[in-house]
Structure 1
Amino acid sequence: MPNSVEPLIGHLLDCRCAEPFNLLGFHERPEGSHERTGNSGLLLRVWRPDASNVSVITFTSGEAIGEMVQVAPGLFELLLSECCSVFLYQLVVTNKDHQSYTLVDPYQFQSYSLSHFHREPYRNYRYMGAHLVSLHPEPKVTIDGVIFRVYAPNARSVSLVGSFNGWDGRMHPMASSDDGIWRLFIPGVKAGDLYKYEIRSQQGDLLPHKADPYGYYAEQPPGNASIVYDHLDYEWEDSRWKHHACLDRPVSIYEVHLGSWRKEQGKNLTYKTLAEQLIPYVVDMGFTHIELMPPMEHPFTGSWGYQPVGLFAPTSRFGNPDDFKAFIDSCHQAGIGVILDWVPAHFPSDSHGLGRFDGAALYEYADPKRGWHPDWQTHIYDYGKPEVKEFLISNAMYWLDRFHLDGVRVDAVASMLYLDYSRSEGEWEPNQLGGNEHIEAVQFLKELNETLYLHYPDQVSIAEESTSWPKVSMPTYDGGLGFGYKWNMGWMHDTLDYMTRDPIHRAHNHWEIMQSMTYHYSEHFILALSHDEVVHGKGSLLGKMPGDEWQKYANLRAYLGFMFGHPGKKLLFMGAEIGSVREWDHEGQLDWELLNKNNYSQGLSQLVKELNHLYKSYPALYKSDYDQNGFAWVVADDQQQSVFAFIRKSFSGSPVLVIANMTPEVRQDYRVGVPVKGVWKEVLNSDGQCFGGSGVANSKSLYTEHYHTHGYDCSLVVTLPPLATLFLVPDSCAI
């Protein structure tokens, strides 16, 4: 055997081969080999470490070409005659258990395996990972299989292991390239086959088997393998759907954890049953959107999806990717938008995941001061690497492209923006300007939002950002981060702090209910009562309310009324609408039994339904959310009685007067100034008996009096029910 190939053979036998095509497949016969046969021509080499015998036949006719000679363990050769040219062939393999089978040798497809396909910026998922393809190497010949590509620039070698090769890392060494991408086309691999990558570091260390970073579908633990999947098989039926989530549209979001919304006999609902049960429920309740807590594949259920390993794979807990597509399709056909919780801030250290993927810090920062999150014990993406930015932005685009998602809510943005986030002195290093801003993460977020809005102007990107970073939801050309919306964490904390107080003490904290309007117009805020407020010992939303059972429900009804009257889009975590008594448990389900045995829960559910209907019916409640002319305090200084009132206005439609009485006392003959004289009607009263309230209400028609107060020439005299929020409109505009 020539000395020139001996090193390659050694690498192949040691599972360290990075250039299999330099050795395998057809090659010119080496010098000196014709001396043994008396002629020159081609040499065919085949690598089958599971074989005792290998023979070669033609692909089309099955004509026998010859039996190969084993020249090294697993390496077979066949010298072909001088007149023979390259041809398409199959192998008849007899393994060491004397079983025979026929296969198409992947190493005869060098030109396809190593070809560089067109790569569209920020759509790397169309190129990387596992893709079903059909080759036509000869007329009327089709060879189906999968082309695998994985980025591992620091690897010494990469092999494919899977259900198609007995998970044997010797069988399919991949070919390296200058761009750090390893490639191999394997005929016969099909949708549903499982696979991982067997990687050796530059030092030759064998790493734990890695799942495909671009894997479309994933196996549940403990296997955690990637699964070959055909993304082009599903036929969408949502062509008439057009997403509406712009600033002047109603947006009322129902936040859902798919695993614990409802169970059947203690088991998770499937995507199919969720479509049958969750979507009609959301429609009936009047929400405009569903926000899904991360449905990407995550091995640890207790992370709720916020520690995803398969960023491109919808979790197989509830079905396959087509089932998830059908769920979204059904949402759109029912008029419901779908927003995805998305986690680019960090990733877990599961051995099959991205951590030290090729033996080095590839996706994460190598320096733990930047690359390790102390709170969550997770890796932090290296936003300074173009390949990592490409990976993440391609992932966001993937969910919009392939799953027709209507937007993303980006988790933990604050942790991305600051180098010293949750770190003490000495645990972080300043940026090149001496500050604590994470400049690379900031640039990444800007590029993300610019890309999403460029390709999907009607999508919505939302930031969960809890600090005072300026212009989070403003365009990048104006110095902003480019998000469409930002969660209003300040509103949430202030108002919850106010509502959890006994009403007798609320007079001393009246400012908490007013505070949000001092900064509301600095961002495009979403008022969020999210899952974060009902876990880790915080209790349920109902459980936070003071008083006996009646007062708890009354307080919650008044609070939700205030929320729907306040400027800003809305988000409510599942269970709040029925008054769940227990703290949210991701292993359980919502307290659905309350709707059968508790009139207060039934009433609260009805109230949320009516609030959503009211919200969508009056443009003043949503059209001017971010216009300072769309809001005015009417009563802002009655802290002694814990009463406040404000007007919502729009350029078209009726003004809406919102009044809240946050004490259990009925306020008779309460005078409120209004901008329109004539008859006003009470269109919603959270104390209504149909909602479980006491039924204190105003007459069907309220007439203004020519009495100047609160800056208006006319006013109304109303009765304020206990612990209640009222909505009133001019009679001519009542719906």
Structure 2
Amino acid sequence: MSNRPAVVMPGENLLPSDADVDALVRAEHGDPFAILGPHADGDGLVIRAYLPNALSVEVLDRSGANALGSMEQGQVPGFFVTRLLHPQPYLLRIRWAGGEQVTEDPYSFSPQLGEIDMHLFSEGNHREIGRVFGAQVVEVDGISGVRFAVWAPNARRVSVVGDFNGWDGRRHPMRLRFPSGVWELFIPRLQPGDAYKYEILGPQGVLPLKADPVALATEHPPGTASVVARPLDYPWRDADWLQRRKALQAYDAPMSIYELHAGSWQRADDDRLYDWHELAERLIPYVVEMGFTHIELMPIMEHPFGGSWGYQPLSQFAPSARYGTSHDFAAFVDACHQAGVGVILDWVPAHFPTDAHGLGDFDGTSLYEYDHPFEGFHQDWDTYIYNLGRTEVHGFMLASALHWLREFHVDALRVDAVASMLYRDYSRKDGEWIPNRHGGRENLEAIDFLRHLNDVVASETPGALVIAEESTAFPGVSKPTSEGGLGFSYKWNMGWMHDTLKYIQEDPVHRRYHHDKMTFGMIYAYSEHFVLPISHDEVVHGKGSLIDKMPGDRWQKFANLRAYLSFMWTHPGKKLLFMGSEFGQWREWNHDRELDWFLLEEPDHRGAQHLVRDLNRLYRTEPALHQLDSDPRGFQWLIGDDRGNSVLAWLRRDAEGRPLLVIGNFTPVVREGYRVGVPQEGRWQEIFNSDAACYGGSNVGNGGGILAEGTPAHGEQYSLQLTLPPLGVVILRPLG
């Protein structure tokens, strides 16, 4: 019996209703699989395809070697239909004006996402959204292609568009998975590198083309399309690092973080941005030589506007195309780990930009953001605020965090703008915010999200950290959730930063009136697990660079810088320093220019850099400077009240009680015979002096060491009579 298709005649039951066809033509049909593709017809098979602008369509067997017959045009141009007498797999040979295409029929494939995926997504607990949603390169029934899945519950129709279909939303409308609101479609023979977006018909009409919220790759800005990424099959070689990571990032470990912007640390001679491989070749040796334990990258998730520095990202799963591919970024992280350097990413779950191709009004409704502007719009940044109380959004952001930690082996996430997440009235006037269900100002949904995030990260990526940039007095930010805290590993100590910077900017003659700015931080030093941050925020927007904040002439500015950094490195808390501050860059940071590396030709800039290098080495090798960061036993004031001389002295101790003595003189006056009590007799060796000539100082000090006298002072049985260098910090260690 012949298996040639029957000839389609008007009026036969092979044709769908005119209303269905009209809906396809107008791209308004919400269930294309009900019309298109193969449908059983008695013993045979009806095949329908809507291919606008196609000249003709032929049905081939699955091998492509044998023609089964031509499809006939139905009610409208581009709508084709035929009937096979016997059901069998088939291909479509489509003739376009520009050539011929042979492909499987996308509408011949069954639903792709499992019910468990749908259930987990809907309840906000799908931990692997980045491996399931978006554009996934997969093989279905032996056919390679790309499976698309996107959440748009209020859309009337969603289509995948790209170069592969002429950006025509009529060509590839998707299947709705009810009740999850997820749309999916497998398009055979698509490949990595294909650009795409979603065309969405919302309740009020067709929306601007939308980028994929779960895109794993994107076009290079200013392009805004998502890109099909090849699966990340990077051959990791960092098993040793991951095994040791928990100990290396523990509360008793040294953590010295170099914060940087990947696009402006260094650039090529032609001002081109380095890619991840070029950065690895230059940045990692520098970080290792400088003694930093970690780097912290300002957000590298794809973002439309470079001037946002990444803090307004739209692709929470895609590394920016500015620096290369996902594989390139994985190789960068791997190289860092093999060099013994941890990688922290800034991550932004608080808000997102309003670009038309982004998450805002995604399906014609406020889907990712709160609907009311008093909740959903951030006035300071002109951004939308994530509605983390919606389970799908909660799960989306949770999966984003895990994506970076698991797929790219990132060691920590620094959560940006936590304060704006915690409070509904953040930066709002009275009458411009909506209270929570109890009438309070706390954002209960965001708080629940942060607690859940921290618990999930702790259980699913052991040894990884989550760090809060949080500027208020919200209690228990770094306390375990089991004790009522938010569960972060560390919190940025913004109060310490503001106080100490205010102090160091004062003319030394006035510092006696601000002495408490340097001591107040110890009042609450153990209320949280702290990172001491001198970040990019302190060297932009007219605030001046770190060196430029310092008072006095050029020599005093550098001496103040060295003294301040020495104070920071000897104070309890992990350290963070923004790039350029380590060598005293004069100008404010500009994201469009590389750092002023030429300054290192000058001795005082080079001296500041060497000081930071030596502070890092001392910090890492002296347990007293890091081991008891979270334990009051690790710190003891000796002199905290000498405001008249602007002198501070304290002991740092390790877990065995062994002390280091730190003395800071924050005036440009040499102080001879200054007595400081110490707990041990014998000789004390001067192991560090910020005024050393090798750092650009005046070389005032104590000849390498001094013998303790039996004269009690400051509650101790012994004391030292020291020479304190001007605007200098010295560290001494007992011998024996």
Selected match of 1:26 from 29, 38, 41: 38
Aligned residue in 2 for 1:192: 193
Tell me which moved more, 127-136 or 40-49. 40-49
What is the CA distance between 1:170 and its match in structure 2? 1.4
Aligned residue in 2 for 1:444: 449
What is the CA distance between 1:435 and its match in structure 2? 1.1
Would you say how many aligned residue pairs link Structure 1 and Structure 2? 712
Aligned residue in 2 for 1:675: 679
Q: Distance in 2 between matches of 1:98 and 1:186?
A: 20
Selected match of 2:327 from 322, 346, 350: 322
Aligned residue in 1 for 2:352: 347
What pairs up with 1:404-423 in 2 under 5 angstroms?
404-423=409-428
Q: Distance in 1 between matches of 2:441 and 2:674?
A: 51
Aligned residue in 2 for 1:57: 60
Aligned residue in 2 for 1:94: 95
Q: Distance in 1 between matches of 2:414 and 2:456?
A: 15
The C-alpha deviation readout for 1:703-732, integer Å capped at 9, x for no partner, is 111111100000111110000011110123
What SS does the corresponding residue of 2:147 show, helix, strand or coil? strand
What is the CA distance between 1:689 and its match in structure 2? 0.2
2:681 alignment partner AA = K
Structure 2 residue 493 is the aligned partner of structure 1 residue 488: yes
Q: Distance in 2 between matches of 1:560 and 1:371?
A: 40
The 8 Å contact of residues 279 and 331 in structure 1, kept in 2 or not, is answered as yes
Q: Distance in 2 between matches of 1:442 and 1:112?
A: 35
Q: Distance in 1 between matches of 2:176 and 2:312?
A: 30
The 8 Å contact of residues 15 and 157 in structure 1, kept in 2 or not, is answered as yes
Tell me which moved more, 673-682 or 103-112. 103-112
Selected match of 1:462 from 458, 467, 472: 467
The 8 Å contact of residues 21 and 175 in structure 1, kept in 2 or not, is answered as yes
Aligned residue in 2 for 1:726: 730
Aligned residue in 2 for 1:14: 26
Structure 2 residue 47 is the aligned partner of structure 1 residue 44: yes
Shift in CA distance, 662/64, structure 1 to aligned 2, threshold 3 Å: same
What is the CA distance between 1:117 and its match in structure 2? 4.9
Selected match of 1:285 from 272, 287, 290: 290
Aligned residue in 2 for 1:109: 109
What is the CA distance between 1:114 and its match in structure 2? 7.9
What is the CA distance between 1:6 and its match in structure 2? 3.4
Q: Distance in 2 between matches of 1:222 and 1:264?
A: 20
Q: Distance in 2 between matches of 1:535 and 1:480?
A: 32
The 8 Å contact of residues 5 and 23 in structure 1, kept in 2 or not, is answered as no
What is the CA distance between 1:115 and its match in structure 2? 7.2
Q: Distance in 2 between matches of 1:625 and 1:410?
A: 22
The 8 Å contact of residues 232 and 327 in structure 2, kept in 1 or not, is answered as no
Q: Distance in 2 between matches of 1:518 and 1:101?
A: 73
The 8 Å contact of residues 232 and 326 in structure 2, kept in 1 or not, is answered as no
Shift in CA distance, 114/731, structure 1 to aligned 2, threshold 3 Å: closer
1:601 alignment partner AA = H
The 8 Å contact of residues 606 and 691 in structure 1, kept in 2 or not, is answered as yes
What is the CA distance between 1:321 and its match in structure 2? 1.0
Aligned residue in 2 for 1:642: 646
What pairs up with 1:151-230 in 2 under 5 angstroms?
151-178=151-178, 179-203=180-204, 205-230=205-230
Selected match of 1:78 from 75, 78, 82: 82
Structure 2 residue 677 is the aligned partner of structure 1 residue 700: no
Q: Distance in 2 between matches of 1:429 and 1:311?
A: 27
Aligned residue in 1 for 2:5: none
Q: Distance in 2 between matches of 1:579 and 1:377?
A: 33
Percent identity for Structure 1 against Structure 2: 52
1:323 alignment partner AA = D
What SS does the corresponding residue of 1:51 show, helix, strand or coil? coil
What SS does the corresponding residue of 2:257 show, helix, strand or coil? strand
Structure 2 residue 670 is the aligned partner of structure 1 residue 666: yes
2:215 alignment partner AA = G
What pairs up with 1:202-601 in 2 under 5 angstroms?
202-203=203-204, 205-242=205-242, 243=245, 244-265=248-269, 266-596=271-601, 598-601=602-605
What is the CA distance between 1:8 and its match in structure 2? 2.5
Q: Distance in 2 between matches of 1:111 and 1:519?
A: 56
What is the CA distance between 1:29 and its match in structure 2? 3.2
TM-score, normalised via structure 2 length: 0.95
What SS does the corresponding residue of 2:351 show, helix, strand or coil? coil
Shift in CA distance, 113/70, structure 1 to aligned 2, threshold 3 Å: farther
1:195 alignment partner AA = Y
The 8 Å contact of residues 64 and 91 in structure 2, kept in 1 or not, is answered as no
What is the CA distance between 1:311 and its match in structure 2? 1.1
What is the CA distance between 1:568 and its match in structure 2? 0.5
Tell me which moved more, 426-435 or 177-186. 426-435
The C-alpha deviation readout for 1:110-130, integer Å capped at 9, x for no partner, is 244787658573222221111
2:21 alignment partner AA = I
Give unpaired runs (5+ residues) of structure 2.
Answer: 1-10
What SS does the corresponding residue of 1:146 show, helix, strand or coil? strand
The C-alpha deviation readout for 1:201-230, integer Å capped at 9, x for no partner, is 023x11011111000111023321111112
What is the CA distance between 1:453 and its match in structure 2? 0.8
1:239 alignment partner AA = A
What is the CA distance between 1:108 and its match in structure 2? 1.0
Give unpaired runs (5+ residues) of structure 1.
Answer: 31-39, 137-141
2:58 alignment partner AA = S
Q: Distance in 1 between matches of 2:714 and 2:486?
A: 39
Aligned residue in 2 for 1:66: 69
The 8 Å contact of residues 618 and 654 in structure 1, kept in 2 or not, is answered as no
Aligned residue in 1 for 2:3: none
Q: Distance in 2 between matches of 1:90 and 1:457?
A: 48
What is the CA distance between 1:105 and its match in structure 2? 1.4
Tell me which moved more, 119-128 or 552-561. 119-128
What is the CA distance between 1:549 and its match in structure 2? 0.6
Q: Distance in 2 between matches of 1:389 and 1:4?
A: 41
Structure 2 residue 668 is the aligned partner of structure 1 residue 656: no
TM-score, normalised via structure 1 length: 0.95
Shift in CA distance, 653/316, structure 1 to aligned 2, threshold 3 Å: farther
The 8 Å contact of residues 619 and 652 in structure 1, kept in 2 or not, is answered as no
What SS does the corresponding residue of 1:442 show, helix, strand or coil? helix
Aligned residue in 1 for 2:145: 145
2:47 alignment partner AA = L
Q: Distance in 2 between matches of 1:501 and 1:452?
A: 42
Tell me which moved more, 165-174 or 647-656. 647-656
What SS does the corresponding residue of 1:719 show, helix, strand or coil? strand
The 8 Å contact of residues 148 and 184 in structure 2, kept in 1 or not, is answered as yes
The C-alpha deviation readout for 1:422-460, integer Å capped at 9, x for no partner, is 000110121121211111111111011111111123111
1:11 alignment partner AA = A
Q: Distance in 2 between matches of 1:305 and 1:116?
A: 34
What is the CA distance between 1:61 and its match in structure 2? 4.9
What SS does the corresponding residue of 2:156 show, helix, strand or coil? strand
